[in-house]
Structure 1
Amino acid sequence: MANEAQQKYYIKLQSLLKELPWYVEEYIDHKKRKLSAASLLNYAHDYKIFFNWLLTESLHTDEIKNIPLELLESLTIKQVEGFLNFLQYQLNNKEITVNRKLSALKSLFNYLQNIAETNDLQPYLQRNVMAKVEFNELKDSMETIANKMEGKILLGDEYESFRLFIANDYGQLNKDNKKLLNFHIFNRERDTAIVSLILGSGLRLSEVVNLDIDDIDFTKSSARVVRKGNKEQYVYFSSLAMDDLQEYLSIRANRYKVEKTNKSLFVSAPMGPKGTSRRLSARAIEKLIEKYATAFGKPSLSVHKLRHSFATRYHTEINDVPKLRRQLGHSSIQTTMIYTHIRNDDLKSAVDKMDMPKDEE
Structure 2
Amino acid sequence: MNRDAQLRTYEKIEEKIRELPWYVAEFIQKKMRTMSPATLLNYCHDYLIFFDWLVAEGFWTGHRRDVPLDTLEKLTVPQIEDFLSYLQFRLDNTPLTVNRKISALKSLFHYLQNIAETDDLEPYLTRNVMAKIELNAVKEDQETIAQKMAGKILWHEEYEQFRRFVAHDYGVLVQDNKKLFNFYQRNRERDTAIISLILGSGLRLSEVVGLDIDDLDLKKFSARVIRKGNKEQYVFFSEQALLDLKEYLAVRKQKYQLDDKTRALFVSSPMGPKGASRRMTPRAVEKMVEKYAKAFGKPALSVHKLRHSFATRYHAENNDVPKLRRQLGHASIQTTMIYTHLTNDELKKAVDKMDQNKAL
Report the TM-score, using the length of structure 1 for normalisation: 0.94
Aligned-partner Cα distance in 2 for 1:95–1:304? 20
- State the secondary structure of the residue aligned to 1:61: coil
Aligned-partner Cα distance in 1 for 2:115–2:175? 63
Aligned-partner Cα distance in 1 for 2:253–2:346? 40
Aligned-partner Cα distance in 2 for 1:78–1:18? 29
Corresponding position of 2:136: 136
Corresponding position of 2:181: 181
Corresponding position of 2:240: 240
| TM-superposition CA deviations, 1:292-349 (whole Å, max 9, x none) | 00000000111111111111111111222222121111222222221111136569xx
Asked whether the 8 Å contact 1:221–1:242 carries over to 2, the reply is: yes
Corresponding position of 2:354: none
Deviation at 1:157, TM superposition (A): 0.9
- State the secondary structure of the residue aligned to 1:35: coil
Aligned-partner Cα distance in 2 for 1:78–1:345? 46
- Structure 2 counterparts to residues 295-334 of structure 1, below 5 A: 295-334=295-334
Deviation at 1:141, TM superposition (A): 1.1
Deviation at 1:99, TM superposition (A): 0.5
Distance change (3 Å), C-alpha of 1:246 and 1:346: farther
- State the secondary structure of the residue aligned to 2:224: strand
Deviation at 1:30, TM superposition (A): 1.3
Query: Is 1:191–2:173 an aligned residue pair?
Result: no
Query: Is 1:284–2:284 an aligned residue pair?
Result: yes
Aligned-partner Cα distance in 2 for 1:104–1:273? 42
- State the secondary structure of the residue aligned to 1:135: coil
Query: Is 1:108–2:108 an aligned residue pair?
Result: yes
Corresponding position of 2:356: none
Aligned-partner Cα distance in 1 for 2:7–2:273? 26
Corresponding position of 2:147: 147
Corresponding position of 1:34: 34
Asked whether the 8 Å contact 1:21–1:65 carries over to 2, the reply is: yes
Aligned-partner Cα distance in 1 for 2:96–2:320? 27
Query: Is 1:119–2:119 an aligned residue pair?
Result: yes
> What is the Cα-based RMSD across aligned positions, in Å?
1.3
- Structure 2 counterparts to residues 48-87 of structure 1, below 5 A: 48-87=48-87
Where does structure 1 differ by over 4 angstroms across 4 or more consecutive aligned residues?
344-347
Corresponding position of 2:210: 210
Structure 2 unaligned runs (5+)? 348-360
Aligned-partner Cα distance in 2 for 1:318–1:12? 42
Deviation at 1:173, TM superposition (A): 0.7
Deviation at 1:205, TM superposition (A): 0.8
Aligned-partner Cα distance in 1 for 2:86–2:168? 48
Q: Which amino acid aligns with 2:307?
A: R
Asked whether the 8 Å contact 1:315–1:340 carries over to 2, the reply is: yes
Asked whether the 8 Å contact 1:155–1:344 carries over to 2, the reply is: no
- State the secondary structure of the residue aligned to 2:337: helix
Q: Which amino acid aligns with 2:124?
A: Y
Deviation at 1:287, TM superposition (A): 0.7
- State the secondary structure of the residue aligned to 2:43: helix
Q: Which amino acid aligns with 1:271?
A: M
Q: Which amino acid aligns with 1:173?
A: L
Structure 1 unaligned runs (5+)? 348-361
Q: Which amino acid aligns with 1:75?
A: L
Corresponding position of 1:356: none
Aligned-partner Cα distance in 2 for 1:182–1:112? 57
Aligned-partner Cα distance in 1 for 2:104–2:40? 10
Deviation at 1:222, TM superposition (A): 0.7
- Equivalenced residue count is 347
Aligned-partner Cα distance in 1 for 2:45–2:97? 13
| TM-superposition CA deviations, 1:143-178 (whole Å, max 9, x none) | 111111111111111111100000010011111111
- State the secondary structure of the residue aligned to 2:219: coil
Corresponding position of 2:91: 91
Report the TM-score, using the length of structure 2 for normalisation: 0.94
Corresponding position of 2:159: 159
Asked whether the 8 Å contact 1:259–1:276 carries over to 2, the reply is: no
| TM-superposition CA deviations, 1:86-105 (whole Å, max 9, x none) | 11111111101111110010
Asked whether the 8 Å contact 2:113–2:123 carries over to 1, the reply is: yes
| TM-superposition CA deviations, 1:195-249 (whole Å, max 9, x none) | 0001111111111111000000111111111111111111111111011000100
- State the secondary structure of the residue aligned to 1:127: coil
Aligned-partner Cα distance in 2 for 1:127–1:319? 49
Q: Decide which moves more: 177-186 or 16-25.
A: 177-186
Asked whether the 8 Å contact 2:316–2:346 carries over to 1, the reply is: no
Deviation at 1:84, TM superposition (A): 0.8
- State the secondary structure of the residue aligned to 2:139: coil
- State the secondary structure of the residue aligned to 2:234: strand
Aligned-partner Cα distance in 1 for 2:100–2:80? 14
Corresponding position of 1:359: none
Corresponding position of 1:250: 250
